[in-house]
Amino acid sequence: MDISTLLGVVVGLLVVGVGLVSGGDLSAYLGVDSAVSLVIVLGGAVGAVMVGYPKEKSFKLMKVMMSTIKTPELNSVDTIRTLVSFSEKARREGLLSLEEDAADLPDQFMKKGVQLIVDGTDPDLLRDMMEIEIDLIDGDLSQDQKMMEAAGAYAPAFGMIGTVLGLIAMLGALNNPDALGPAMAKALITTLYGAIIANGFLLPMGEKLALRKEILLMHKRMILEGILSIQAGDNPRLLEEKLKTFLSDADKKAYDASTATPE
């Protein structure tokens, strides 16, 4: 579980809660009128996403949102260790010896790459095929990110629509000055909710998806370079050093610590 997402949501809600409490009467932000405002903002944003994106994507909007709470299962340190072990085995026993190992790989991208080198695929063709798969992954994740950002852009817009509707209703009560203040407050609540939902949830989630996409694509490119090096028969030590360039400083330290020879 990605604790930063949950912690960020909690902090955001606390900050907004403090603002609501300091405003005095909480009933102005709750009740039937507030529920209607939430329906306008959330329903409008979801509806706009459904119009703008195919059903294969838009129907998974909630699933995409919930994915920001889960921690991606990527372990670059273990991946490099696996590729180095494959390189050592391939140099000792030949590329065909990796066939059984490929069948047990949980990472489908790595599994496909190892199977291709076992099958004797031309290196240029192998690179082209794997890069096409990376591009497809990039396109799919980019759509998830853009869909979330689009929902974040639509929410304030529908907040304004709700406010306009409230103002129109308010103008119908001009003959009652005492009702103008409460009517104006009700009209503005929808804008408030639109801004909170967009800036507190949807847009930050879109940013997290964008960051995760870059990390995942870098992981796939690292695997591709490792597979090509194994196919080329590169020295396992050279392959190891090449793949370590893809790691962050923290992961490099973790990898060095995991491979250090005990004294």
Concatenated DSSP letters for 71-90? PP---HHHHHHHHHHHHHHH
Distance CA 246, CA 258 (A): 17
Q: Which long-range contacts (CB under 8 A, 24 or more apart) does 248-254 make?
A: 251/76, 251/77, 254/77
pLDDT in tens, the chain (263 residues): 778 888 888 888 888 877 777 765 666 666 666 788 888 999 999 999 999 999 989 999 999 999 988 888 888 999 999 999 999 999 999 999 999 888 889 999 999 999 999 999 999 999 999 999 999 999 999 999 999 999 999 999 999 998 888 888 777 767 777 667 667 777 788 898 899 999 989 999 999 999 999 999 999 999 999 999 999 999 999 999 999 999 888 888 888 887 765 54
pLDDT at 125 (0 to 100): 96
Sign of the CA dihedral running 223, 224, 228, 234:
negative
Distance CA 137, CA 167 (A): 46
- Inter-axis angle of helices 236-244 and 203-232, nearest 10: 160
SS3 68: coil
Distance CA 198, CA 153 (A): 7
CA angle 181, 182, 183 (to 5 degrees): 90
- Inter-axis angle of helices 3-22 and 203-232, nearest 10: 170
- Contact of 187 with 130, CB cutoff 8 Å: no
Cβ density class 64-74: b for 16+ within 10 Å, e for less:
bbebbeeeeee
Phi/psi at 261 (5° precision):
-80, 125
AA letter at 36 = V
SS3 220: helix
AA letter at 203 = L
- Contact of 9 with 201, CB cutoff 8 Å: yes
pLDDT at 52 (0 to 100): 93
